[in-house]
Amino acid sequence: MPQCPALLPSSVPFLWSNATADPPPATFRSAWVSPDGMIVEKHGCRAVRNGGCAKHMYKQWTQPNAATAHARVVTLATHFGDGHYHFPMEALTALASSGAAFEPFSTVLHISKKTEFVLQWLTLVVHANTTVVDGDIFAESLRVPRPGKCSDPSSQQVRWLRNLVLMQLGKRDPLPKGDSLVLIRRANFSQTASNNKRRVMASFEETVQAPAEAHARAHALRFALFDDAALPPLREQLALFTRASIIVAPLGAGELGMVASPSGACLVELADPTRVDKSGAVHPHVDATYARLASLLGHTYELVPTPGLVADSAAVRSAMQRCSERGSTAPRTASHARHGTRSVTAVPRTTK
**In this structure, are 141 and 18 located in the same domain?**
yes
User: Is 132 part of a structural domain of the chain?
Assistant: yes
Query: Which of 168, 203, 220 lies at the terminal end of a domain, its last residue?
Result: 168
User: Is 350 part of a structural domain of the chain?
Assistant: no
**Of residues 322 and 66, which shows the higher confidence score?**
322
Quick check: 59 pLDDT over 80? Answer: yes
**In this structure, are 256 and 163 located in the same domain?**
no
Mean pLDDT of the chain: 89
**In this structure, are 15 and 103 located in the same domain?**
yes
Question: In degrees, to the nearest 5, what angle opens at C-alpha 227 toward C-alphas 222 and 233?
Answer: 90
Instruction: Give the pLDDT confidence of 225-240 residue by residue, as tens digits.
Output: 999 888 899 999 999 9
First to last CA, the chain: 43
Query: Which of 112, 140, 168 lies at the terminal end of a domain, its last residue?
Result: 168
User: Is 174 part of a structural domain of the chain?
Assistant: no
Query: What average pLDDT does this structure show over 66-77?
Result: 95
pLDDT for res 56: 86
**In this structure, are 190 and 325 located in the same domain?**
yes
Number of Cβ atoms within 10 Å of the Cβ of 43: 10
pLDDT for res 199: 63
Q: d(Cα 182, Cα 237) in Å, to the nearest integer?
A: 11
Q: How confident is the model at residue 193 (pLDDT cuts 50, 70, 90)?
A: low
**In this structure, are 109 and 149 located in the same domain?**
yes
User: What are φ and ψ of residue 266, in 5° steps?
Assistant: -115, 125
User: Is 173 part of a structural domain of the chain?
Assistant: no
**Of residues 280 and 297, which shows the higher confidence score?**
297
Query: Which of 121, 145, 168 lies at the terminal end of a domain, its last residue?
Result: 168
**In this structure, are 131 and 224 located in the same domain?**
no
Instruction: Show contacts of 341-344: CB within 8 Å, 24+ apart.
Output: 341/216, 341/217, 341/220, 341/221, 341/222, 341/223, 342/222, 342/223, 343/213, 343/216, 343/222, 343/223, 343/224, 343/225, 344/180, 344/222, 344/223, 344/224, 344/225, 344/240
**In this structure, are 18 and 162 located in the same domain?**
yes
User: Is 352 part of a structural domain of the chain?
Assistant: no
**In this structure, are 147 and 194 located in the same domain?**
no
User: Is 1 part of a structural domain of the chain?
Assistant: no
Please state the domain count of the chain.
2
Quick check: 192 pLDDT over 60? Answer: no
Q: How confident is the model at residue 1 (pLDDT cuts 50, 70, 90)?
A: low
**In this structure, are 124 and 197 located in the same domain?**
no
Q: By percentage, how much of the chain surpasses pLDDT 90? A: 75
Residue 5, preceding peptide bond in cis (omega within 30° of 0): no
**In this structure, are 61 and 199 located in the same domain?**
no
Q: Which domain holds residue 258?
A: 180-345
Task: Of 94-103, 168-177, 193-202, give the range with the top mean pLDDT.
Answer: 168-177
Quick check: 305 pLDDT over 60? Answer: yes
User: Is 23 part of a structural domain of the chain?
Assistant: yes
Q: d(Cα 144, Cα 63) in Å, to the nearest integer?
A: 20
User: Is 41 part of a structural domain of the chain?
Assistant: yes
**In this structure, are 236 and 340 located in the same domain?**
yes
Q: d(Cα 66, Cα 308) in Å, to the nearest integer?
A: 46
Instruction: Give the pLDDT confidence of 335-345 residue by residue, as tens digits.
Output: 333 333 333 44
Quick check: 77 pLDDT over 80? Answer: yes
Q: How confident is the model at residue 27 (pLDDT cuts 50, 70, 90)?
A: very high
Instruction: Give the pLDDT confidence of 101-149 residue by residue, as tens digits.
Output: 778 889 999 999 999 999 999 999 898 899 999 999 999 999 999 999 9
Beta-strand runs (E) in the chain: 26-33, 38-41, 47-49, 68-75, 108-110, 131-133, 137-144, 180-185, 222-227, 244-250, 266-271, 274-276, 282-284, 300-305, 343-345
**In this structure, are 313 and 273 located in the same domain?**
yes
Task: Quote the pTM value.
Answer: 0.89
CATH number of the domain enclosing 244: 3.40.50
